Amino acid sequence: MIDMPLTHILVLGAILFSLGILAVIVKRHAVVVLMGIELVFNAANLNLVAFNRYQPELMGGQVFSLFVMVIAAAETAVALALVLKVYQYFRTINLDQIRQTSED
Amino acid sequence: MNTVLLLFYVFGFLAILAAAFIVYTRNVLYAAFGLLVTLLSLAAIFVLLFADFVALTQLMVYVGGVLVLILFGIMLSNRVAGRAIQSESVNIFSGSLAAGVLFSWLVYFILTAKDILKLPGPDLVNNSVAAKSSITTIGIRLITNFALPFEVTSFILLIALMGAAYISTPEHHD
């Protein structure tokens, strides 16, 4: 029953990671870039949970995937606060149209 | 083919499909719903991997928290009401090239590391550890082996949320 092949789980993680990186590179809407970063986080989480089977007593993989989720939540909160601030100032969140970092 | 393996392939395929839809679609709201499907499929895969607490946390933190935050971000940064929020794509060729190279590099290392990955893992089904819920073990590990990372993460979360609340409040001119 546990013969779920580890290689396939890792390949699934690799696919999700690459798609997240692709979304980060290709998309210009700041929130979609954030979604790509979430995909990368989830791919890392999948790998951590998959490798957890080698130490079921210590639960290191699952515990660290919980830490990853906490960091992701914190990152999303800060990023969306920045997105709202940038939108109030520039009236756009297209990353290619935001060129100045300070008002001068 | 047993049921668990079949379910894993179904949910994995669903996750990949929804993640590809995030990259493909131009509508930002549709991309958010694609992310929702990916997160739910990954929660199902976590359940299949005997990580019930991680799956529940995935549902509560990601689907209930992060995704709602993202939806709020989309709604609040939208100038024109009544029109779909579009997201243009640039660097499609170089982006696909970079992602493809990264993916083949990762798969190459996964396949060549086969002798390491074939280490016999413990039989979780017959193991008494997996017979009960993983919540007890995780709770004990969080306050013993991983106490320092746990505290550091909680501080990071506190600081980040305070910073986010400070950034997003309107400026007070006093």
| pLDDT tens column, A43-100 | 999 999 988 877 777 888 999 999 999 999 999 999 999 998 888 888 888 888 887 7
Lowest mean pLDDT among A25-29, A66-70, B51-55, B117-121: B117-121
The alpha-carbon gap from B83 to the nearest alpha carbon of chain A, in Å, equals: 15
B67 and B9 within one domain: yes
Query: Quick check: B11 contacting A, CB < 8 Å?
Result: no
Of B53, B83, B113, the last residue of a domain is B83
The alpha-carbon gap from B19 to the nearest alpha carbon of chain A, in Å, equals: 7
A51 interaction partners in chain B (CB closer than 8 Å): none
User: Token pair of B99, please?
Assistant: 């992602």
Best CA proximity match to A77, nearest among A38, A44, A42, A103: A38
Query: Quick check: A47 contacting B, CB < 8 Å?
Result: no
In a domain, B107, yes or no: no
The alpha-carbon gap from B96 to the nearest alpha carbon of chain A, in Å, equals: 6
Chains A, B: CB contacts under 8 A, how many? 246
Q: Where are the domains of chain A?
A: 29-95
Q: Amino acid letter at B101?
A: V
B132 and B62 within one domain: no
In a domain, B100, yes or no: no
Cβ atoms A46, A9 nearer than 8 A? yes
Q: Least CA distance to A77: which residue of chain B?
A: B164
Band (B80; pLDDT cuts 50, 70, 90): low
Complex ipTM value: 0.90
Q: Give the angle A19-B59-A37 at the CA atoms, nearest 5°.
A: 25
Query: Quick check: A90 contacting B, CB < 8 Å?
Result: no
Q: Tell me, what's the pLDDT at A57?
A: 79
Band (A1; pLDDT cuts 50, 70, 90): very low
Query: Quick check: A54 contacting B, CB < 8 Å?
Result: yes
Q: Based on the structure, what is the number of domains in chain B? A: 2
Q: Where do runs of H (alpha helix) occur along A27-59?
A: 30-51
Q: Looking at the partner chain, which of A11, A38, A53 has a beta carbon nearest the beta carbon of B35?
A: A38
Of B51, B83, B115, the last residue of a domain is B83
Does B141 score more than 70 pLDDT? yes
Write down the pTM of the prediction. Answer: 0.89
B30 and B79 within one domain: yes
User: Token pair of B45, please?
Assistant: 């895969």
For B169, phi then psi, to 5°, come to -75, 145
In a domain, B67, yes or no: yes
- Cα separation of B19 and B35, whole Å? 7
Q: Least CA distance to A79: which residue of chain B?
A: B164
B131 and B77 within one domain: no
Per the model's pLDDT, the better-predicted residue between B103 and B50 turns out to be: B103
B127 and B66 within one domain: no
Q: Tell me, what's the pLDDT at B3?
A: 85
Q: How many CB atoms lie within 10 A of CB B147?
A: 11
Residues 6+ apart with CB under 8 A from B73: A31, A34, A80, A83, A84
Q: Quote the domain boundaries for residue B156.
A: 123-169
In a domain, B108, yes or no: no
Q: Amino acid letter at B124?
A: L
Arithmetic mean of pLDDT, B146-152? 94
In a domain, B34, yes or no: yes
